[in-house]
Amino acid sequence: MEAHQDLLANIKRRQMWDFVFALMGLLALLFALVTLLALIVDLAITGVPRINAEFFVNFPSRFAEKAGILSAWVGSFCIMITTAFCAIPLGVAAGVYLEEYSKKNWISQLIELNIINLAGIPSITYGLMALGLFVYKLKLGQSILTAGLTLGLLVLPIIIVTTREAIRAIPNTIREASYAMGASKWQTVRYHILPYSSGGILTGVIISLSRAIGETAPLITIGALTFIAFLPTPPVDGQFPYLNFKWLMDPFTVMPIQMFNWLSRPQPEFHVNAAATGVVLLLMTLIMNGGAIYLRSRFRKKMKW
Amino acid sequence: MRRLRERAIETVLFLAAASSVLVTIGIVGILVVESIPFFEHVTFKEFLTDTQWTPLFENAHYGILPLLSGTLLSTVIALSVAIPLGTVAAAFLSEYVRPSWREFLKPMLELLAAVPTVVYGYFALLFVTPLLQKIIPSLSGFNVLSAGIVIGVMIVPYVSSLSEDAMRSVPNHLREASFAVGASRMQTAFRVVIPAAFSGITSAYVLGISRALGETMVVAIAAGMQPNLTINPTEPAATITAFIVQVSLGDLPHGSIGYQSIYVAGLSLLVLTLCFNIVGLWLRKKFQEKE
């Protein structure tokens, strides 16, 4: 009888601890999510009233009320395009090679180990590398091109990893069917593997660009200016061939650097500008990430092999 | 002809894959090459033992210790937030929550990692610090404490996502065996699932540590950029990363001692990150042998 009582007490105690732990788990999750919410709300309360049309078409200024983010968002936009052009072909090609072509040997193992480790390398060291290599050795200057290349290399692992995941999800029957029709390896990749994995690759591209748009430290390190009151050279002009790439070599600033600059001033009016820039940045990254999550779940549902 | 084209394409794709190795070589190579001239001015002993770091002052001192203490202090604070929160959240998501809720909660948690770090800096400086000052009135306007806490929350998804993946890949028959001998869910989580997923959880921690060590903008904004040999988190301090930002914001002639000093700082950061990664690798190896 006593043993029975002991057992019941023991079960009660363990059930209680089980419940306590579940509660802790819930609290941990809530704490993280509430912090995120507090961050968004705090930023929005200060920043949203400051956002108006002029904020987007004005250059930075000594007067907080007149200052805007024109040069910053144009800079962010140009750098995003450069980053995408640099990272997407390289990353997708690397992912395709590692999934479809590479044999199990020490080179492919080295490459794989290296990609895992790149995720842990602090982003600021990419900036130091770019300052030494792109700015001084290759004489590209503190330009949009340098910034785009730097961020391109920084997000390369993200694109490689998501490309590989997307390709790995394609069953082997597809490849075999393609080979059975007499297709070569490249034809299989080109007409089957790449189209079927494009959804997953797109998710990776969106996530990597949202990461690039928020990166600040490597761009400060390569010497981005914090006060820019002009725009890059327009890419279209009246003379033949009507297109030029001079803008690639222009100096730049980006939204996170502009925000940092305003944030490091003592006057609270500039902090309001920083908050407004933060709202724009946050909105863009959240929309991009939300889109990526939506795409991922949609493709996962749609793909039934 | 067709075979030639196939070969050419394979070579191009291989070069793309190999370029990722070039990135690593480039980073390590440039950091080392640009750091070497620094040690022609400064002895190794001075670098490691001097307690002041003032490379841009008239009376220059080149001791890495104050930057190291700032970096480690903010990392320790960040990890004491992120590891308990991240691990408990991961165990909860993996062992308690039904899959449909998990599909919703995990991406929400991952949004924390998507917020730009400069926004976290704003949050640390203008929200967390004033909040903490109500509890600790002596807290300085710039301090390591709030920067560390905010970094901690920021890296929760790095810790929890990978840990949760590791926990969920533990085969179900281990859980069933544990339940069959009468263990509760919590006992199963702590004595069966977490030990079995130890290797993956260690990787998650190591990634979290790497992120915390290399985090730049939050400390540059909220911790005050003053090299300060202290373990008091309520004071301002500078991390290695914050110093690099501070110097880069000024005009920096190529080849000057200031220019060299940011490479030395970057190299120290890389070595520090590498050390933690090796410890993680060693822990994983050691544990795997026991199985």
Whether residues B27 and B79 share a domain: the answer is no
Whether residues A109 and A11 share a domain: the answer is no
Chain A residues 247-276 within an 8 A CB cutoff of chain B:
256, 259-260, 263-264, 271, 274-275
Between chain A and chain B, the number of residue pairs with CB atoms below 8 A apart is 262
Which of B213, B216, B27, B124 shows the shortest CA–CA distance to A214?
A: B216
- CB–CB of A111 and B21 under 8 A? yes
Task: Give the nearest chain A residue to B112 (CA atoms).
Answer: A36
Whether residues B112 and B21 share a domain: the answer is no
Whether residues A31 and A66 share a domain: the answer is no
- The answer to whether residue B232 scores a pLDDT higher than 70 is yes
| pLDDT number for residue A237 | 66
B148 in a domain, yes or no? yes
Q: How confident is the model at residue B225 (pLDDT cuts 50, 70, 90)?
A: confident
Q: How confident is the model at residue B289 (pLDDT cuts 50, 70, 90)?
A: low
**Mean pLDDT throughout B204-218?**
91
Q: Terminal CA-to-CA distance of chain B, rounded, Å?
A: 53
Cβ(A223)–Cβ(A142) under 8 Å?
yes
Average pLDDT over chain A, rounded to whole?
86
Of A119, A210, A278, the CB nearest to B119: A278
Whether residues A20 and A168 share a domain: the answer is no
Residue numbers of the domain that contains A168: 53-302
| pLDDT number for residue A117 | 83
- CB–CB of A217 and B263 under 8 A? no
Summarize pLDDT for B35-58 with one digit per residue, the tens.
Answer: 888 888 888 788 887 778 877 777
Nearest-CA distance B135 → chain A (Å): 18
Is the peptide bond preceding residue A241 cis, with omega within 30 degrees of 0?
yes
Q: How confident is the model at residue B2 (pLDDT cuts 50, 70, 90)?
A: confident
Summarize pLDDT for A77-104 with one digit per residue, the tens.
Answer: 999 999 999 999 999 999 999 998 888 8
Cβ(A43)–Cβ(B212) under 8 Å?
no
Whether residues A64 and A198 share a domain: the answer is yes
Summarize pLDDT for A267-276 with one digit per residue, the tens.
Answer: 888 889 899 9
Residue A176 CA to residue B61 CA, distance in Å, equals 66
Nearest-CA distance A246 → chain B (Å): 24
Task: Quickly count helices (H) and strands (E) in chain B.
Answer: 15, 0
**Domain count of chain A?**
2
DSSP class of residue A181? T
Whether residues B171 and B137 share a domain: the answer is yes
**Mean pLDDT throughout A253-261?**
90
| pLDDT number for residue A235 | 67
Residue A59 CA to residue A100 CA, distance in Å, equals 49
Whether residues A245 and A113 share a domain: the answer is yes
Whether residues A15 and A121 share a domain: the answer is no
B57 in a domain, yes or no? yes
Of B31, B210, B241, the CB nearest to A217: B241
**Mean pLDDT throughout B233-262?**
84
Chain A residues 20-39 within an 8 A CB cutoff of chain B:
21-22, 24-26, 28-29, 31-33, 35-36, 38-39
DSSP class of residue B235? S
Q: How confident is the model at residue A143 (pLDDT cuts 50, 70, 90)?
A: confident
Residue A301, strand partner residues: none
Within 10 angstroms of residue B57's Cβ, the number of other Cβ atoms is 9
Whether residues B141 and B7 share a domain: the answer is no
**Mean pLDDT throughout B127-136?**
89
Share of chain B above pLDDT 90, in %: 36
Summarize pLDDT for B170-201 with one digit per residue, the tens.
Answer: 999 999 999 999 888 888 998 999 989 988 89
Whether residues A31 and A129 share a domain: the answer is no
**Mean pLDDT throughout B208-216?**
91
Whether residues A26 and A162 share a domain: the answer is no
Whether residues A210 and A261 share a domain: the answer is yes
Residue A228 CA to residue A117 CA, distance in Å, equals 36
| pLDDT number for residue B250 | 78
- CB–CB of B19 and A94 under 8 A? yes
Which of A102, A98, A113 shows the shortest CA–CA distance to A159?
A: A98
Whether residues A21 and A154 share a domain: the answer is no
Which of B260, A225, B272 shows the shortest CA–CA distance to B243?
A: B260
User: In the block, which residue shows the tokens 């785009």?
Assistant: A148
Summarize pLDDT for A28-70 with one digit per residue, the tens.
Answer: 999 999 999 999 999 999 888 888 888 888 888 777 777 888 8
User: Could you tell me how many residues make up chain B?
Assistant: 291
CA distances from residue A17 to A13, A22, A63, B160 in whole angstroms, order as listed: 6, 8, 59, 22
Nearest-CA distance A233 → chain B (Å): 24
| pLDDT number for residue B3 | 82
Nearest-CA distance A93 → chain B (Å): 5
Whether residues B79 and B180 share a domain: the answer is yes
B40 in a domain, yes or no? no
Task: Give the nearest chain A residue to B212 (CA atoms).
Answer: A122
Summarize pLDDT for B68-120 with one digit per residue, the tens.
Answer: 888 999 999 999 999 999 999 999 999 898 888 888 888 888 888 889 999 99
**Domain count of chain B?**
2
Whether residues B31 and B130 share a domain: the answer is no
Whether residues B93 and B26 share a domain: the answer is no
B240 in a domain, yes or no? yes
Scored b (16 or more CB within 10 A) or e, A24-58 reads bbeebbebbbebbeebbebbbebbeebbeeebeeb
Chain A residues 49-88 within an 8 A CB cutoff of chain B:
none
- The answer to whether residue B15 scores a pLDDT higher than 70 is yes
Whether residues B95 and B16 share a domain: the answer is no
| pLDDT number for residue A305 | 58
| pLDDT number for residue A294 | 86
| pLDDT number for residue B56 | 74
| pLDDT number for residue A245 | 67
The CATH number of the domain where B160 resides is what? 1.10.3720.10
Which of B161, B106, B120 shows the shortest CA–CA distance to A214?
A: B120
| pLDDT number for residue B119 | 94
Which of B232, B211, B207 shows the shortest CA–CA distance to B70?
A: B232
Nearest-CA distance A211 → chain B (Å): 7
Whether residues B204 and B269 share a domain: the answer is yes
- The answer to whether residue B291 scores a pLDDT higher than 60 is no
| pLDDT number for residue A239 | 66
Cβ(B158)–Cβ(B211) under 8 Å?
yes
- CB–CB of A136 and B241 under 8 A? no
Nearest-CA distance A145 → chain B (Å): 17
Q: Which residues of B touch A157 (CB under 8 A)?
A: 20
HSE-up of residue A44 (Cα within 13 Å, Cβ side)? 8
- CB–CB of B245 and A89 under 8 A? no
Residue numbers of the domain that contains B68: 45-290
Whether residues A73 and A184 share a domain: the answer is yes
- CB–CB of A260 and B221 under 8 A? yes
| pLDDT number for residue B91 | 92
Q: Assign B215 to helix, strand or coil.
A: coil
Q: Which residues of A touch B252 (CB under 8 A)?
A: 223
Summarize pLDDT for A184-232 with one digit per residue, the tens.
Answer: 889 999 999 999 898 889 999 999 999 999 888 899 988 777 677 777 7
Residue B202 CA to residue A105 CA, distance in Å, equals 27
Residue B165 CA to residue A239 CA, distance in Å, equals 56
Task: Give the nearest chain B residue to A88 (CA atoms).
Answer: B16
Share of chain A above pLDDT 90, in %: 39
Whether residues B198 and B120 share a domain: the answer is yes
Percent of chain B as helix, strand, coil, to the nearest 5: 75, 0, 20
User: In the block, which residue shows the tokens 């507090």?
Assistant: A38
Q: How confident is the model at residue A302 (pLDDT cuts 50, 70, 90)?
A: low
Residue B160 CA to residue B156 CA, distance in Å, equals 6
B164 in a domain, yes or no? yes
Torsion angle, CA of B260/B261/B265/B268, rounded to 10 degrees? Answer: 70
Best mutation target among A15, A20, A39 (most B Cβ atoms within 10 Å) is A39
Question: How many Å is the Cα radius of gyration of chain B?
Answer: 23
User: B118: which 2 tokens?
Assistant: 């400069």
Residue A121 CA to residue A156 CA, distance in Å, equals 13
Helical H runs in chain A?
2-47, 53-57, 70-96, 106-118, 123-130, 144-168, 172-180, 185-188, 194-214, 217-221, 255-263, 268-302
Whether residues A153 and A32 share a domain: the answer is no
Cβ(A101)–Cβ(B194) under 8 Å?
no
- DSSP H or E run through A247: none
The CATH number of the domain where A168 resides is what? 1.10.3720.10
| pLDDT number for residue A232 | 74
Where is mean pLDDT largest: A105-109, B104-108, B122-126, B222-226? B122-126
- Taking phi first (over 0 means left), then psi (-120 to 50 degrees means alpha), and beta for anything else, what does residue B255 get? left
Backbone angles phi, psi at A125, to 5 degrees: -70, -25
| pLDDT number for residue B256 | 80
Is the peptide bond preceding residue A256 cis, with omega within 30 degrees of 0?
no
Nearest-CA distance A238 → chain B (Å): 37
Q: Does A122 touch chain B (CB under 8 A)?
A: yes
Backbone angles phi, psi at A222, to 5 degrees: -75, 0
